[in-house]
């Protein structure tokens, strides 16, 4: 039997989980291929018996590029399917969005895997909060491998069920405000470049996971029309030359509220960080500080 695992990953957390799921499948005797769904070549599912798809959670929902990838898939009614999601704080009902799109392709999802992943969301990091910074841990990756083994053995979804939690009103509001439609029609057009600060280093061009940024005739970055609003360009700019709607005064109260909730949640591991030249520097372990107090 053969399995194809398609994944979207920016900081390699989802890729790490995908690799370990693949290892488990291989140990179960399944010939497994990994595919970065942002690659230019669309995969051919002909000859595959199992299909898996994995993604991080953005804004408590599924990234646009993952949804668009699923919409291009052929009929999945005769292919066993599984899914895996990573989130830095809360996934809420993000899996429902993924499930809805997979079911539309004829899929019956036989297993769900969930893991925490280091949360590089710029809004939180800018305020000094880095949730789930050590994830996925070895325990997370070992569970991913076991999940892969079980999927290879045709285990039912009763062992790896879907987990969906209704989001509180504030998070539901964020899902609406940061919906795929809003990202396409508004947020992807909100990026601004300070040419006086820009050193034309191409960090943003090389780091865009969906190849949405290119260089203009002068060597400055320019944004095209397939942005997923991951904010990797803004976060990693060594000179702070890029800004977007994420740093607007309108966004600030919502982001501060989310960070306050995260800091009060004992179930979430977090560290205090600062941003220096497009990189995160850990200042102190917030969990340890809370324990000492």
> In this predicted model, what pLDDT tens digit does every residue of 236-269 receive, in sequence order?
999 999 999 988 877 899 999 999 999 999 999 9
Phi, psi dihedral angles at 90 (to 5 degrees) = -135, 135
The pLDDT tens digits of the residues spanning 18-72 come to 999 999 999 999 999 999 999 989 999 999 999 999 999 999 999 999 999 999 9
Q: How many CA atoms lie less than 13 Å away from 146 in the CB half-sphere?
A: 9
CA–CA separation, 115 vs 86, rounded Å?
A: 5
CA–CA separation, 157 vs 48, rounded Å?
A: 20
**Which domains does the chain show, CATH number per domain?**
2-118+133-152 (3.40.50.360), 169-292 (3.30.70.20)
Task: State the DSSP H helix or E strand holding residue 263, giving kind and residue range, or none if neither.
Answer: helix 252-264
The pLDDT of residue 251 is 85
**pTM attached to this predicted model:** 0.93
Angle between helix axes 169-177 and 252-264 (nearest 10 degrees) is 140
Q: Is 160 in contact with 36 (CB distance < 8 Å)?
A: no
Residue 16 CB neighbour total at 10 angstroms: 20
The pLDDT tens digits of the residues spanning 77-136 come to 999 999 999 999 999 999 999 999 999 999 999 999 999 999 999 999 999 999 999 999
Q: Is 135 in contact with 117 (CB distance < 8 Å)?
A: yes
Question: Above 90 in pLDDT, residue 207?
Answer: yes
């Amino acid at each position: 039997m053969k399995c194809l695992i398609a994944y979207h990953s920016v900081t390699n957390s989802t890729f790490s989980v995908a690799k370990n799921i693949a290892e488990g499948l291989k140990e179960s005797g399944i010939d497994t291929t990994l595919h970065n769904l942002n690659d230019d070549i669309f995969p051919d599912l002909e000859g595959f018996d199992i299909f898996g798809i994995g993604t991080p959670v953005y804004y408590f929902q599924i990234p646009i590029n993952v949804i668009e990838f699923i919409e291009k898939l052929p009929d999945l009614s005769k292919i066993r399917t599984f899914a895996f999601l990573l989130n830095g704080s809360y996934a809420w009902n993000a899996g429902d969005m993924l499930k809805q799109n997979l079911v539309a392709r004829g899929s019956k999802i036989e297993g769900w895997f969930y893991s925490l992943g280091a949360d590089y969301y710029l809004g939180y990091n800018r305020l000094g909060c880095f949730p789930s910074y050590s994830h996925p841990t070895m325990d997370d990756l070992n569970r991913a491998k076991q999940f892969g083994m079980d999927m290879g053995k045709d285990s039912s979804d009763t062992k790896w069920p879907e987990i969906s939690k209704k989001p509180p009103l504030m998070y539901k509001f964020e899902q609406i405000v940061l919906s795929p439609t809003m990202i396409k029609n508004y947020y992807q057009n909100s990026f601004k470049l300070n040419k006086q600060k820009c050193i034309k280093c191409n960090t943003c061009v090389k780091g865009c996971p969906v190849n949405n940024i290119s260089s203009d005739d002068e060597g400055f970055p320019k944004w095209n029309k397939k942005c997923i609003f991951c904010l990797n360009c803004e976060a990693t700019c060594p000179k702070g030359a890029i800004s977007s709607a994420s740093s607007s005064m309108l966004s600030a109260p919502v982001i501060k509220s989310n960070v306050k909730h995260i800091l009060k949640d004992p179930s979430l591991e977090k560290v205090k960080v600062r941003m220096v030249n497009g990189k995160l520097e850990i200042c102190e372990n917030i969990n340890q500080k809370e324990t000492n107090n």
